[in-house]
Structure 1
Amino acid sequence: MSPTWPWLLGAGILASVHCQPFPAQGEKNLGHPPTPQPDASEPLPAYLKVTPTITSFALRLYKQLAAGTPGNILFSPVSLSSTLALLSLGAHADTPTQILEGLGFNLTETPAADIHRGFQSLLRTLDLPNPKLELNVGNSLFLDKALKPQRRFLDSSQELYGAVAFSANFTEPATTGRQINGFVRKQTYGRVSDCLQEFGRDTVLVLVNFFFFKAKWKHPFDGYQTRKQDSFPVDGKPPLRVPMMQQREMHRFLYDQEVACTVLQIEYSGPALLLLVLPDPGKMRQVEAAMRPETLRRWSRPSRPSLLDLHLPRFSISGTYNLEEILSQIGLSNLFSVGSDLSGVMGQLNKTISRVSHTVVMDMNEKGTEAGAASGLLSQPLPLNVTWTPRAQFNRPFLLLLWEVTTQSLLFLGKVVNPVAG
């Protein structure tokens, strides 16, 4: 991979299941994400039944991560939410409802069957061939060779989520771990490695979601214009010296007086958009607190592109999170209790999720963005009106949201605090 490619990468959910006793401002706004104008005579695509909820789930999860993570943040809402939704197919009793409602779905308005069909539509649409946008999305199940998984779960997971099942020997955890990590590494073209950090000989199932994204900027940066070393302040530490990309180009942008931030849209040559949010100095917490679906809708009002003097750091960030505590705080606590019923997967009642991890990496530079994500569930017993060329200088921490335009889906959400953290 050429070093001039930016790339973004996520390796996601890793959940451990253990056996336990089953108890008796301005008016000029950014056009992002653009709203498709469907034919009034045609039904709305099924994915529109899930993408707004995925965005809301992402914002709730982001705020929990921001409260406990002082540095960079990056995760894939699509990867996380689709893996948890897939898991609900193997749940019985109240557990499917608890999972889907924990993700934010209103089952009175959108029945579970419609939710699963929505994820099916989303994943299939994202995976469609496009010469200007490379996406590789899929799910796989690695089941212990001694298991007799439920046929209904396997059939539903394959039909709705494209999940392919493989037999695995978890009595040799080191060897099997290398095999699964190698599979994810291959599916994400080497960008996600070692997403499955550990599991034991009592593991019975690993559910993996992989996600790869690659696109070029519509207006690439000129590498000769990149300043080799520029100042990027980090709270409580000496300023960092980072490479700063520069260009004078037409972009959609706005200044939101209500939230105190600059909002910039950078287009790709394919149907994807990067939304960058630069808080005013000292206003990061204010902006984070204001991030709601209605805030994104306000930023989405259309505006004409204007000439902008843009300064953006070339950066590489990564992160690994254990999410079981955070997911519990946003409504998924029952998933980790001994009362959860996942018997639809393996026909056994004493299985609960005890560990969820998510790992993401992003590297962005002058030519475009390459991104990947992998999520795995491990199962084991137990306004800006100007007449001059304005400048947007991203020389302090900022937020990023990467959207796929056709489905209006939020692929990645994060915060860049240290552009060279790796």
Structure 2
Amino acid sequence: MMSFTLKFCLIAGLCILVPSHLAEELPDSENTLPPPSSASHIISPSIAEFSFDLYRLLVSKSNNTNIFFSPLSISTAFSLLALGARSATHDQILQGLRFNLTVISEEEIHQGFHHILHTLNLPGNELQLTTSNGMFIDKKLNIIEKFLEDSKKLYASDTFSTNFEDNEAAKKEINDYVEKETKGKIVDLVQDLDPNAVFVLVNCIFFKGKWEKPFDTEFTTERPFHVDNKTTVPVQTMNRLGMFSVTYDNDLACNVVKMNYLGNATALFILPDVGKLEQVENALNKELVFKWSRKLHRSAVNLYLPKVSISGNYDLKVLRELGITNVFEDISDLSGIIEGVNLQLSQAVHKAVLNIDEKGTEASAATFLEAIPMSIPPTIDFNRPFLVVVYETETRSTLFLGKVMNPTAN
């Protein structure tokens, strides 16, 4: 049996740039899809549920290391794959992505991803956010026309005819694509390409956002970060005194701080009290995030947030534990992709990179003026492990999810 290799690639560069003006309401693009009840809102709860289930699974295997991944990237790639899956393989993929096939149709799922990808790639947004799907298919194989048409129409996939007999040349072609789509942030993703590979699927997300309310580099200083009760590391830490959307969850003992990007993206930073990290992680789900969002209120805060540079590398065969099993086995049925070839998913990898700092590509300085109460505001100091969720507000999709255990460890 021939096998195929599915390669995931993701880069998330959260580079905090200094805008030259205060945030303004962005004009509607001529190309925007109707808001709604849109297709993306139908699937966003399932993506969120998948996000937190996968997060807990990765935590159980992480040995207290940093975690960072893109639920949207992983679910997009597997949903695209489902276009060519049949029988139990097909159902396992969609159910493993937490879609309830008794209440949502496959057409709605694919239309939802189409709406998300279209919205994220709209021009003119102050957010630099692009997605891409690349399919590399052995030049000797005949791809089924329906799969080719649907993947192009729904997922805007690029298709490449590749000579997999020349393993090194195929690897270089894939790595060159990844490097180009991630703006040079991920180089040489594919180190070893399965010698039996006949099909490689790559999904990339590139994200670069400006804070709506930037930090001033003048106030960045080295401060201690308490990895655990035995380990402390020095970290360059940003500071801003101002008005933030915040809440404190008394039941779970954690602070939640919302920070907006210019454009349609928001980050939630969750800081558990000392000793309460596991408690928060066990409770994490879409309903909890919705509850936090409802309880956020504007308050003056003296915020300390460390500069972060971390990455996550994952073997996605871990998804077997979420019910996606057949696609990795001999019984895999991907007969809707290529004529006359039994395909099995032999490799599935995901890489995500997170950078948070106060620098940017703009050379101009900015002054941000904000009125705060005269009383001394409380301090929220992210000087111990915390969680971060980044989501796109228009489609309500979870872009990234992670845990920073040590901002200096990669």
| Identity percentage of aligned residues | 42
1:118 corresponds in structure 2 to: 112
- What amino acid maps onto 2:331 in structure 1? G
**Alpha-carbon deviation of 1:367?**
4.3
> What are the Cα deviations for residues 58-84 of structure 1, in whole angstroms up to 9, with x where unaligned?
100000000110210000011000000
1:316 maps to 309
Aligned partner of 1:145 among 139, 143, 150: 139
Secondary structure in structure 1 of the residue aligned to 2:65: coil
Tell me the residue number matched to 2:102.
108
Please give the residue correspondences for 1:276-315 in structure 2 after superposition, counting only pairs within 5 Å: 276-301=269-294, 303-315=296-308
Matched residue type, 2:397: S
Larger CA deviation: 337-346 vs 66-75? 337-346
Q: Counterpart of 2:87 in 1: which secondary structure? A: coil
Task: Report the equivalent of 1:179.
Answer: 173
Looking at structure 2, the residues matched to 167 and 231 of structure 1 have their Cα atoms a distance apart, in angstroms, of: 52
Cα distance, 1:394–1:387 mapped onto 2, change above 3 Å: same
* Contact 1:89 1:153 survives alignment (8 Å): yes
CA distance in 2, matches of 1:321, 1:94: 25
User: Of residues 157, 168, 182 in structure 2, which corresponds to 1:163?
Assistant: 157
What residue identity is the alignment partner of 2:152?
Q
> Equivalents in 1 of 2:117, 2:35: separation in Å?
20
**Contact residue 10 and residue 353 of structure 2 kept, 8 A:** no
Kept in 1, the 8 Å contact 2:254–2:271? The answer is yes
Alignment TM-score, normalising by the size of structure 2: 0.86
| Structure 2 equivalent of residue 194 of structure 1 | 188
What letter matches 1:394 in structure 2? Answer: F
Aligned to 1:351, which of 327, 343, 363? 343
Give the conservation status (yes or no) of the 8 Å contact 1:262–1:279: yes
For structure 1, which segment, 353-362 or 262-271, has the greater mean C-alpha deviation from structure 2 after superposition?
Answer: 353-362
1:217–1:367: 8 Å Cα contact kept in structure 2?
no
Aligned to 1:44: 37
1:347-384, Cα deviation, whole Å (9 max, x unpaired):
24532223321111111111479xxxxxxxxxxxxxxx
Amino acid at match of 1:396: R
Shift in alpha-carbon separation, 1:254–1:274, aligned structure 2, 3 A: same
**Greater CA drift, 345-354 or 91-100:** 345-354
Moved more, 41-50 or 57-66: 41-50
Aligned counterpart in structure 2 of residue 419 of structure 1, from 404, 407, 410: 407
Structure 2 CA distance for partners of 1:42 and 1:367, relative to 1, 3 Å: closer
Could you list the per-position Cα deviations for residues 250-299 of structure 1 after superposition, in whole angstroms to 9, with x for gaps in the alignment? 11001101111100001112111110000000111000001011111111
Q: Which runs of 5+ in 1 are unaligned?
A: 1-9, 14-40, 370-385
Q: Which runs of 5+ in 2 are unaligned?
A: 1-7, 12-33, 362-373
Q: Do 2:247 and 2:297's aligned partners in 1 also have CA atoms closer than 8 Å?
A: no
Give the match for residue 392 of structure 1.
380
In the alignment, which residue of structure 1 is the partner of 2:242?
Answer: 249
Question: 1:33 aligns to what?
Answer: none
Q: Measure how far apart 1:122 and its partner are.
A: 0.9
CA distance in 2, matches of 1:247, 1:129: 31
| In 2: Cα distance, 1:348 partner to 1:115 partner | 27
CA distance in structure 2 between the aligned counterparts of 1:88 and 1:130, rounded to whole angstroms: 32
2:119 counterpart SS class: helix
Contact 1:127 1:135 in 2 (8 A): yes
- What CA distance in whole angstroms lies between the structure 2 residues aligned with 1:101 and 1:221? 42
Which residue of 1 is the match for residue 217 of structure 2?
223
Secondary structure of the residue aligned to 1:356 is strand
TM (normalized to structure 1)? 0.83
Deviates more, 1:209-218 or 1:300-309: 300-309
1:33-71 Cα distance to aligned partner (Å, 9 max, x none): xxxxxxxx9861111111111110010000000011021
CA gap of 1:367–1:131, structure 2 versus 1, over 3 A, is farther
CA contact (8 A) 2:228 2:384 kept: no
User: Is 1:267 aligned to residue 255 of structure 2?
Assistant: no
Aligned partner of 1:362 among 354, 360, 374: 354
| Count of residues in correspondence between the two structures | 368
Runs of 4+, deviation exceeding 3 Å = none
| Whole-angstrom distance in 2 between the partners of 1:272 and 1:173 | 40
CA contact (8 A) 2:9 2:202 kept: no
